[in-house]
Chains A and B, each alone.
Chain A
Amino acid sequence: MTLLALLLIILGFIHLSASTRASFKVFFGRGRPQTGLRNWLHIVGYMYLIAALLPCMSGWNFQMAIVVWLGLLHVGAVGVTLMLTYSPGLVRRLWLWGCLGRLGKPFLPKASN
């Protein structure tokens, strides 16, 4: 359960990191995030983070679940940051296999850059 929650959190943070200018290149090769894409990635990313609450809830009572969830958020955020620095290939693979946010991209209106 804990691992599932941690995985969901990591995938969520990968969405959020994909929307920042600094690490946009890791995922899309070139360019910078446009508003539509950025909002979409934010929404999906936050959904992942919220979804990670569910496995926490099943393992602990409500109050404890929140504490565990917050603790895992810290671990996940640091994990994603270090992965982006030292192993961007792994992040890209996780992005290709586990991130639903990727699927929404073709449907977004393309803003001229």
Chain B
Amino acid sequence: MKGGFRKSMTWLHTWSSLVVIWVLFAIFLTGTLSFFRAEITHWMTPEHHISARTESPVLMATNYLQSVAPFGESWQISLPDSRSPVLGVNWLAEGEERQRRRGARAVIDPVSGTAIEDARETAGGNFLYRFHFELYGVPRSVGRWIVGIASMLMFIAIISGVIMHRKIFADFFSFRPGKKTASWVDAHVLGSVLALPFHIMITFTGLFLLAGTLLFWQGGNERGGQQGQNANRGHASEEQREERAQAEKPSSQREIVSLNMNAIYLEAESLLGQPISDITISKPMTHEAEVTFRGSEKSSLSHFRGGTPEVTYNVKGELIKENFPAGAEGPIATTYGVLRSLHEGHFADVLTRWLLFFSGVLGTVMVGSGALLWSQKRERQQAGKPGYEVVSALNLAGIAGLFVALGAYFWANRLVPAGIDGRADWEIIIFFCSWLACILHSVFLRQRHGWLLQLAAAGLMFLLLPVLDALTSPVGLVAATTAGDWVRLSFDFVSLLTAAGLWAAAYFVLSKGRKSRARRNSVSNKKGKV
């Protein structure tokens, strides 16, 4: 670490990121996908695809609820929205206490008006989401430590990277393809400098969310970062519990009272001034029934959960309560809420979610190109040395291999039979088995052929995913277009884009190999002539 300040920063940047770079790549990639967690789960539950875009969903849901739980304690209807285009209902049967789970749940088939049964059990987007902050197969706290340490090193890498970059403004817009190391440097800088605000935000907030786990001396707190959240939730639910206790005074006898839902719905929508995402009906079909409509847009960044406006009507259709939250209470709750919702994109509408996704892709490009840059720079001097070979094998398995594993995960979702026990686990097992296969493969074939093979395999899987989707879902892609199931179609579109990217990378590896072989041939020819 001799030399000037900038030189020592370069050393720090290189080594602090290299030790965890493959973990960081996996975190960035799965984390980026987690912005679309609900959407991925929708794609991965093909049985629900027929529920997309129901006409008159409120009527259909209430009819269904009347048939299954006419005197239930409460009903809840989640209307189709931009993230999950299915019509779902939950209910609590008579005398049932509200537990942690929301009671029975069903997704409604718009054709028959009954529940869709035998929907496959899937790990869905939740697996990717959980994997990106607590890994898998290790105890939660250990996984969170590893991710926390990795993100701390990432933060160090960001800061030292900014310092070591000599011409941050002069090179701001430059990308020079076809120039070997310089091109990799440019790609790395393109991914990092242009999205620097996002990287700082996502790393800092990520660290903040894991802070509880990393401060290990607080002792015995396995859930770490969730403590604050639980405290918040506990606070909120206590109030709710009191309210509920008041509401649950011995009720008068039951008699069927029907509500004019449509009229109230329209009024609530105009009052909220935004689409309604949820309807809760307590004590349905009695004189004490109350209907609460919840909007879909948050009023402020400081809420990570809740924060959407609500209006409540009684059985006569009179407005009895309205709640338009302005922001979280108190500076600490506000800070926590803002940092958390920035990281998790709770506030995001469709456009913002795509913007976050795009920035996440840039982050993935940054980490991936950084890893490749390390070996590109040292190829001449160090090829054949154990350290270099370990890094290049891990690069292959960590980057191309992860894409193969993801492709296999989505394929497994459609090909593993729907009814078998522990189905969700099978998807995860297949994910890790294919990743393991890639790791073994890259131990033996870590050069050009290894890259070609894994990139092509992943490219093929992602290219054919839309075909697989069309074949194994009860709703064809054309029908999905007419029904407006954009969530599913976007998934297929992004999968095609991913395939294009992977094939482009494979083509790059192929042409680079040809060039170097041609050069080697010309050099040996010259030698022969001499």
Residues of A within 8 A of B (CB): 2, 13, 16-17, 20-23, 61, 63-64, 67-68, 70-75, 77-78, 80-82, 84-85
Contact A78 B194 (CB under 8 A): yes
Contact B171 A22 (CB under 8 A): yes
Contact B173 A17 (CB under 8 A): yes
CA distance A75 to B359 in the complex (A): 8
Given known A-B contacts A70-B197, A74-B355, A74-B358, A81 and B170 have beta carbons under 8 A apart: no
Given known A-B contacts A64-B301, A68-B352, A74-B195, A80 and B358 have beta carbons under 8 A apart: no
Contact B170 A63 (CB under 8 A): no
Count of residues in B whose CB is under 8 Å from the partner chain = 26
Contact B358 A75 (CB under 8 A): yes
Interchain pairs with CB closer than 8 A, number: 76
CA distance A27 to B520 in the complex (A): 40
Contact B362 A78 (CB under 8 A): yes
| Closest residue on chain B to residue A23 by CB atoms | B173
CA distance A109 to B362 in the complex (A): 40
Contact A85 B177 (CB under 8 A): yes
User: Nearest Cβ in chain A — how far from B349, in angstroms?
Assistant: 8
Given known A-B contacts A63-B301, A71-B358, A78-B190, A23 and B174 have beta carbons under 8 A apart: yes
Q: 8 nearest interchain CB pairs? A: A71-B355, A17-B173, A77-B194, A63-B301, A85-B175, A22-B174, A74-B195, A81-B173
Contact A17 B190 (CB under 8 A): no
B16 on interface, CB distance cutoff 8 Å: no
CA distance A23 to B174 in the complex (A): 8
Contact B362 A74 (CB under 8 A): yes
Contact A20 B176 (CB under 8 A): no
Q: Which residues of B sit under 8 angstroms from A63, Cβ to Cβ?
A: 300-301
B198 on interface, CB distance cutoff 8 Å: yes
| Closest residue on chain A to residue B327 by CB atoms | A63
Contact B172 A72 (CB under 8 A): no
CA distance A84 to B197 in the complex (A): 22
Q: Which residues of A sit under 8 angstroms from B355, Cβ to Cβ?
A: 67-68, 71-72, 74-75
B217 on interface, CB distance cutoff 8 Å: no
Contact A84 B173 (CB under 8 A): yes
B169 on interface, CB distance cutoff 8 Å: yes
Contact A21 B170 (CB under 8 A): yes
| Closest residue on chain B to residue A77 by CB atoms | B194
CA distance A74 to B301 in the complex (A): 20
